[in-house]
Structure 1
Amino acid sequence: MGRELPHSCPPTAAPQPFSHFGAECRMKKKLIIDVDTGVDDAQSIMVALAAPDVEILGITCCHGNTSLENVLKNTLRVLKVCNRLDIPVYKGCPKPLLAGKQNAGDFHGKDGLGDVPDPDAPGLDLLQEKRAVQAMLKIAKENAGEVTLVATAPLTNLAVAVQLDPSFPKKLKGLYIMGGNTESRGNTTPCGEFNFVADPEAACIVLERFTCPTYIASWEFSCRRSLPWSFVDEWLSKDTEKAAFMKKISSLSMTKARSAEYQKEITAGKGFNPCDVFAMAAALDDSLITDSDEVAVTVELAGTHARGMMVLDYMELLKKSHKVVIMKNVDSEKLKQMLINALK
């Protein structure tokens, strides 16, 4: 499914062990990225595009931060500024399985990218004809055991995919999710994180049925690992087209994040929280995670106040054999370097 890159390894008669490849011919990490492109998704996509030895086989789009149409436009805008419109983009689910639609227009802007439209943005005619779920299944089948799926949106596309093909998770190398929470501290409802609240049924299906290695960057974790504003100011001051783009689209959300209105949030005033980047960065470099827990999880669906909350089963009452890795700490210097590289 992936395109041949100019400096990719020449074909060989038979697969060679990894250690036999030269530095210039290392095996590429293959990714599918599932997004609801707002500002933080844009940051994570750009981090992935800047990473060495990574091949993005497709970007699948979902409702979430903004309407699906805006998500598609935003994704193409990000690829354009990075000169990577060769990467296929697929249209996914426009609404949750059962829940009412959510959006994050108050934070990311109504269009998801800070309400700073680009009159020269790419048109939706660049989208692939195949839909997102079918693309996920096809890519995973053609690259069985090699594809890492990074999910930074509501999990609707993933839930539909596993219902269409129950073997889908077994074909993945791993799944990295930004979503859920570990201490019932919500950012959308009193106890719920946005991506899970936006489609609780989908989140529950994914956490029940995806038994591939699964890593979760939760809301509270990302808040506590926020980066200093001094770093952000320096990061966005670089004299590059990508830095100018990021500064423009993130102006609204960063102004809100620094405001007194958000002082009661656990992120407020403490720094920059690039939520989705944590999941992406961990997918790109496993050594980024310096502390974690392994625990079975599920999602509360029936609670009046806790619907969409991720439940961690430390007492093992759920009797689930599959446990996920809950990220607790990361190497902040590696994370900063990834962000810096993204805007070069």
Structure 2
Amino acid sequence: MKKLILDVDTGVDDAQAIMIALTAKDVKVLGITCCHGNTPLENVLTNTLRVLKVCNRLDIPVYKGFSKPLLARKQHASDYHGKDGLGDVPDPDAPSVELLQKEKAAEAMLKIARENPGEVILVATGPLTNLAVAVQLDPSFPKKLKALYIMGGNTESRGNTTSCGEFNFVADPEAAFIVLDRYTCPTYIAAWEFSCRSSLSWSFWKEWLSVKTEKAAFIRKISDLSMKVSSYQKEVIAGQGFNPCDVFALAAAVDDGFITESEKVAVTVELDGKHTRGMMVLDYIECLKKEHKAVIMKTADLEKLKKMLYNAVK
């Protein structure tokens, strides 16, 4: 049984990732921690509860994390995810935030890892603020984790938020720097360009969501805005089809055979560049003198991903 903590900024692709985690075989979600990102934190909290509601899993504890980055200017992705983060299709019967745990996100991460030493896989699909604070509170936290999976960063300086920066890292560059510097557990990164190359066809999208279930209807509804935006974006920006960015990190975490090609390299984050702040740096010539290397995903088994997506909406 794989034990997961999901750290999310629940927008459309986070919702899809959560739904995969809840339906994956031999996987137990121990908790979901929430962070600013795609939408303001208060929306992230409600959105996460909405996803759990449609999956009939409101038993999973949800924790409130940080509402702003460590130092950077706060920003959101409302042009893609909608102002509320889930396509601006509100649910009048959304679960109350009174269901949230009283414990804060960073403290909850530490507690869950302490209670399950060496067993917890942390999957981060938003800005890394909660993770950065957790390791500041307990420097030994990464040693208690089994692995860390991140959707974020980029490998070829192709940005989707700035010229050279991917949204999750640009949204809190200092946090990303701290995490890549201090998390020495096995670390796997699904970067922006990898997700673009791994885009699924629009024909699959239509077939996937033609399933007559409440879950599929939910995904169709919240995704309408983001899919319209995607269909108008240039291929060089978002790939050639449906690009569920956050899903790739989650899929790799729940299925050890999902990644078919990867490379290990030391990584860091640029903090000072005028055009490159927030860009992930890959150190192929060992300038950083880092012993810890991250696993950078290069190719994946997309047929497995399709099966996960189908199972998520059954």
Aligned to 1:67: 40
Name which of 198, 216, 228 aligns with 1:255: 228
* Contact 2:152-2:189 at 8 Å conserved across structures: yes
Task: Tell me if 1:136 matches 2:109.
Answer: yes
Q: SS of the residue aligned with 1:286?
A: coil
**Counterpart of 1:99?**
72
**Number of corresponding residues:** 314
Structure 2 residue aligned with 1:267: 238
Query: What SS is found at the alignment partner of 2:260?
Result: strand
Q: Is 1:285 aligned to residue 255 of structure 2?
A: yes
Distance, in Å, in 2 between the alignment partners of 1:264 and 1:295 is 27
Separation (CA, whole Å) in 2 of partners of 1:288 and 1:54: 15
Residue of structure 1 in register with 2:283 after alignment: 313
- Residue from 194, 214, 217 that aligns with 2:167: 194
Partner of 1:15: none
Distance (Å, rounded) in 1 between the aligned partners of 2:125 and 2:68: 16
In the alignment, structure 1 segments of 5+ residues that lack a partner are 1-27
Of structures 1 and 2, the larger Rg is shown by 1
Once residues 238 and 205 of structure 2 are traced to their aligned partners in structure 1, the CA distance between those partners, rounded to angstroms, is 15
Structure 1 counterpart of 2:190, from 188, 213, 217: 217
Q: Provide the secondary structure at the position in 1 that maps to 2:32.
A: strand
The amino acid of 1:334's aligned partner reads K
Question: How far 1:264 moved relative to its partner?
Answer: 5.7
What is the CA–CA distance in structure 2 between the aligned matches of 1:157 and 1:266, rounded to whole Å?
Answer: 28
Q: What CA deviation, in whole Å up to 9, does each residue of 1:180-232 have, x standing for no partner?
A: 00000000000000000000000000000000000000000000000000000
Indicate conservation of the 8 Å contact 2:209/2:219, yes or no. yes
| SS at structure 1 position matched to 2:29 | strand
**Distance of 1:104 and 1:121 partners within structure 2:** 22
Distance 1:165 1:49 in 2: 28
| Paired position in structure 2 for 1:228 | 201
After TM superposition, list the pairs within 5 Å mapping 1:150-169 onto structure 2.
150-169=123-142
Instruction: For 2:311 and 2:20, locate their aligned partners in 1 and report how far apart those are by CA, in whole Å.
Output: 7
Amino acid in the other structure paired with 2:277: R
| CA distance in 2 between partners of 1:59 and 1:44 (Å) | 12
Query: TM-score scaled to structure 2, two decimals?
Result: 0.99
Q: Structure 2 stretches of 5 or more lacking a match?
A: none
Equivalent pair of 2:160/2:237 in contact (CA under 8 Å):
no
Which residue identity does 1:285 align to in structure 2? D
**Conservation of the 8 A alpha-carbon contact between 2:22 and 2:312:** yes
Task: Provide the residue aligned with 2:118 in structure 1.
Answer: 145
Match of 1:5 in 2: none
Match of 2:5 in 1: 32
| DSSP 3-state at the match of 2:274 | coil
Identity of aligned residues (%): 76
- What are the superposed Cα offsets for residues 124-164 of structure 1, whole Å, 9 maximum, x if unpaired? 00000001011000000000000000000100000000000
Structure 2 residue 308 is the aligned partner of structure 1 residue 338: yes
Q: Structure 1 runs of 4+ off > 3 angstroms?
A: none
Work out the CA distance in 1 between the residues paired with 2:280 and 2:194: 13
Partner of 2:274: 304
Rounded to whole Å, the distance in 2 between the matches of 1:263 and 1:57 is 38
- The answer to whether the aligner puts 1:326 opposite 2:296 as a matched pair is yes
- CA positional deviation for 1:52: 1.3
2:234 maps to a residue whose letter is Q
